[in-house]
Amino acid sequence: MNLLQRRLSAGLAIVMTVAMLAGCSGKSGGGSAESTMKAEPSAKASASPSSGQAAPSAKPFEGKTINLVTANHPWADAIKPLIPDFEAATGMKVNVQGYFEDQLTQKLTVQFTAGSETPDVFMYRPLQEGKLFFKNGWLQALDDYVNKDPAYDFADISKSAIGTATVDGKLAGIPIISEQEILYYRKDLLEAAGIPVPKTIDELVAAAKKLHDPGKEMYGFVARGQRSPLVTQVSSFLYSEGGDFMNGDKASINTPEALKAFTTYGTLLKDYGPPGVLNMSWPQAFGIFGQGKVAFLTDANSLYKNATDPSKSQVADKVGFAPFPAGAAGSKPYNITSWGLAINAKSVDKDAAWAFIQWATSKEIVLKTQEKGNPGARTSVWDNPQGTTGFPPELVAVIKESVKGGIDHDRPTVINVGEARDAVGEIVQKIITGETNVQPVADKANEALQAVIDKDKNK
């Protein structure tokens, strides 16, 4: 271990101590979407010589500054009040800027294309832009960083979540938000009808049919029906029937397994969905579920508050959670990293950038962000009762079960994700609108997806 590593380890140990002390004191603070974080007096005192902590001269990054760019996301809201403790312990200043998702991608793309050295650290979506960013040489591979400090315990992070953040065998980022697809259902409706919670896709179809009563504005099933948004949610149907979007570098959305999965999803929406499903993404799907007009919904667990928050849902106290129903290949929901942290490959101080990521994704800090309702990827935090206080107990059990068989992607893993999603979504939308001869549609879409895959080979 060289001098820098020894100082970094010592500094991070101090960070953890300060963070825990701050947590014990119940200290909290606010943060704006675009702000420069300031060290708080209490944090400074905790790290002062008089308090018995390390002297300022021992701070491993005294005088250093990094720039962090986040999405306007609940994780960012949870981490920003903790940053002053990190700054006080390390001597590093962290400048924070926040953007809406699409603005974030645009900003990063513009800056990286221009060869900018900033931001040093940034939030990104591994499955949406991760491959593009990595292939362009914009992301610093982190394989050499994650095992430097055994206390970081990289093996504690879900393998599936790590798989999402891995490109061409290299670790492109560290997971901060994980998601699994689950089944939401109305407890009261199932109980009144004497229907057990569906454990298989066939049981889900039968239950949706039985509870579907459009004359009373009660619909059996809802999910995303818009062409691109539906792709991530049909993926769990696809995996559970034994299919996938790709088999190596070959498109595989016209296989018997794929057609069965797409037909089931599309038929559920066509026969038992509410009016207007073709225009529904998750806000609309959760919206009508929250109005009490739908019996079943399949979508990401991370969105559960849209169903259980009384200010958003009229059936908040009637919502149940269940693992994704099993198909011919079992229950195989996606288990992905929806957001990660990465380092700009041109950052002038990658050690400082990594020190921040190491702290932000440590067990102690993930515990704090997860307590705020941000589902992380560390197994030890999910096994810690304190780490599940931000979630309904029934949902925690479902998440733990879902992680066991999860698949590390929820869309084709290509550079041009948008074109690939359009190809898949086209098949499902045709089924929703009544197409019965699906094979020709799927064959044409498969050719389109293959063209997207082939483009990657030249990059």
Kindly report, residue by residue over 101-120, the tens digit of the pLDDT. 879 999 999 999 999 999 99
Which are the contacts of 20, defined by CB distance < 8 A and separation ≥ 6?
364
Q: How confident is the model at residue 403 (pLDDT cuts 50, 70, 90)?
A: confident
Structural domain contains residue 113: yes
Q: How far is CA 354 from the centre of its chain?
A: 21
Chain segment 248-301, per-residue pLDDT in tens: 999 999 999 999 999 999 999 999 999 999 999 999 999 999 999 999 999 999
Same domain, 212 and 310: yes
Do 220 and 230 have their domain in common? yes
Share above pLDDT 70 across residues of the chain, in percent, rounded to a whole number: 87
| Torsion angle (degrees, nearest 10) of CA 260, 263, 264, 268 | 180
What integer best gives the mean pLDDT of the chain?
A: 89
Same domain for 325 and 190 = yes
Q: Are residues 263 and 127 in the same domain?
A: no
Residue 7 lies in a domain: no
Name the DSSP class of 129. I
pLDDT at residue 406 in the model: 87
For residue 22, being part of any structural domain is answered with: no
Domain that holds residue 452: 179-334+409-457
Q: Are residues 255 and 290 in the same domain?
A: yes
Q: Are residues 416 and 303 in the same domain?
A: yes
Span 45-91, pLDDT tens digits: 333 333 334 444 578 899 999 999 999 999 999 999 999 999 999 99
The continuous run of DSSP H or E covering 336 comes out as strand 335-343
State the pLDDT confidence band at 152, using cuts at 50, 70 and 90: very high
Neighbours of 305 (CB within 10 A): 17
Please check whether residue 24 lies inside any domain of the structure: no
Neighbouring C-alpha atoms within 13 Å toward the C-beta of 261: 35
Q: Residue 98 belongs to a domain with what CATH number?
A: 3.40.190.10
**Same domain (yes/no): 127, 185:** no
Specify whether 307 is located in the same domain as 354.
Answer: no
- Check residues 131 and 8 and name the one with the higher pLDDT: 131
> Residue 4 falls within a domain, yes or no?
no
Residue keyed to tokens 């140990």: 13
If phi > 0 it is left, if psi is from -120 to 50 it is alpha, else beta; for residue 154 that is alpha
The rounded distance, in Å, linking the Cα atoms of 254 and 71 is 36
341 located within any domain:
yes
d(CA 251, CA 233): 18
Which pLDDT value is given to residue 35?
Answer: 33
Q: Which of 383, 400, 417 is the last residue of a domain?
A: 400
| 27 part of a folded domain | no
Same domain assignment for residues 267 and 163: no
Q: How many domains does the chain have?
A: 2
Count each helix (H run) and each strand (E run) in the chain, helices first.
19, 13
Predicted confidence band of residue 13 (pLDDT cuts 50, 70, 90): low
Whether 459 has a pLDDT exceeding 80, the answer reads no
Distances (CA, A) of 451 to 34, 133, 345, 412, 455: 40, 20, 29, 13, 6
